Amino acid sequence: MNTPSEPGHATSSGHNILVIDDEFGPRESLRFLFKDRHNIKCVDNVDEGVRCIETFRPDVIITDIKMPKKNGIDGLRDIRRVDPNVSVIMLTGFGDFDTATAALRLGANDYLTKPFNTVELSNLVDRHIQRTIATRAHANALKELEAMNATLTAEVKQHEQLSSLGAKSSEFIHDLSNPFSVICMCVQMLGKHLQSYDIQGDKNAQVLKEYARNINSSAQRCKDLFELWRKAEKEGELALKPCNLKALLQEVADRANVLASAKGATVRLPSEVPDCMVQADEVQLYRCFQNVVTNAVQALPSANGVVELFWQTTDNGMAEIHIKDNGCGIPPDKIDRIFDPHFTTKRESGGLGLGLFITHKLIELHHGTIVIANNPDHGATTTVRLPVHPAQPAILS
């Protein structure tokens, strides 16, 4: 019998297959079929098979249905209690379709009639190995995301208690809310994605990878902000270094697209826009553009909403960044107050009126300017001007 070098994990020879069958002949046939490509463990009764699941951690279980003492249907219930994600293929006698159908209702993933075709069974096992791998990855990711969600929720509740201490604590809550919203949205989408899981797995794996990338990046931004506030840096003390504007805005656009997609909207960053290095505190500048782009997304219509990010360098050593949306715009009687602290048009949805105030303050500390104006047709455009890095060549549009 082949055994894995590390319980619960496939060795270099392949993945783990568990066979449960009371008949010696079929067990040995299956062992011979898979022994050269996979780690295979064969047992002659259900109870022994269930006992070895946690240590052997099979990627596929092949089990007969008709066995003495405890049959495969009863065993299926026990298997699902121990491992809800492993693929289970049931073997049944020819013509016994009622029993096979009952097995599928109880959580079996497939069935095959005896005597089985070895090529068909081999292909079936390969497909279900990939299904198990993808399903376990999805389940682990969802578990980690739920834990992250609980941790961040606890952080928000803790810092809400500090809001009475003044604007500093309020700014902290505001900074935390944007990446936290992205994480929550990804958790919800991942849950919906798992409900409609496709056995082929390829498309799901790509979607899961993209969600995980967004979550990891946003979580890192949370960590950066926590570190920023722990240091309690004094106003005016920015760590100005060369910062890749295109890379920074690409990250902002990627995160904002998670929120925008929930309302059928898009955040666009033209691929042909050239690289540009600016003098900036990268974490603080990320805060600024995240605030502006998030506001733009929230102002978009319920359908066909678009936020466009583009920039150019000028001949006087400045980078001019534009964030344009086709949303509702800003009421003319309120546009002069948008940078005032605690002024917001989103009070009913929980807005604190601090995002643009923080952004305006930080852009000035970067020796730049920020202006917001309504577009002639609809929506608004935010224009930010920042000093380029001295080594940056001028690229005029």
Distances (CA, A) of 206 to 126, 146, 202, 212, 305: 20, 20, 7, 10, 25
- Four-residue CA torsion sign, 364, 367, 373, 378: negative
Q: pLDDT digit string (tens) for 101-138?
A: 777 777 788 888 888 888 988 999 999 998 888 888 88
CA distance 60 to 24: 20
- Polymer length in residues for the chain: 397
CA distance 380 to 376: 9
Distances (CA, A) of 284 to 236, 291, 299, 382, 389: 11, 11, 23, 18, 17
Q: pLDDT digit string (tens) for 9-58?
A: 344 458 999 999 998 988 899 999 999 899 999 999 999 999 999 899 99
Contact 216, 186 (CB under 8 A): no
**Predicted TM-score (pTM) above 0.75:** no
Contact 395, 312 (CB under 8 A): yes
Q: Which helix (H) or strand (E) holds 383?
A: strand 380-387
- Four-residue CA torsion sign, 2, 52, 145, 219: negative
Residues of the chain above pLDDT 70, percent = 69
Q: Nearest Cα to 201, choosing from 213, 209, 192?
A: 209
pLDDT of 334 above 80? yes
What is the per-residue DSSP string for 183-242? Answer: HHHHHHHHHHHHHT--TT-HHHHHHHHHHHHHHHHHHHHHHHHHHHHHHTPPTT----EE
Q: Which helix (H) or strand (E) holds 51?
A: helix 46-51
Please report which confidence band the pLDDT of residue 306 belongs to, taking 50, 70 and 90 as the band edges.
very high
Characterize the bridge pairing of strands 306-313 and 318-325: antiparallel
β-bridge partners, 313: 319
CA distance 316 to 28: 80
pLDDT of 305 above 80? yes
178 burial (CB, 10 Å; 0-12 / 13-18 / 19+) is buried
3-state secondary structure of 250: helix
Residue 122: Cβ within 10 Å count? 14
Contact 245, 277 (CB under 8 A): yes
Q: What's residue 96's pLDDT? A: 63
| Rounded average pLDDT over 168-197 | 61
- Four-residue CA torsion sign, 226, 368, 377, 310: negative
Enumerate the H helices of 69-201 as residue ranges. Answer: 72-82, 97-105, 118-160, 167-195
Q: pLDDT digit string (tens) for 193-242?
A: 655 555 445 555 566 666 666 676 666 666 666 566 555 544 546 778 89
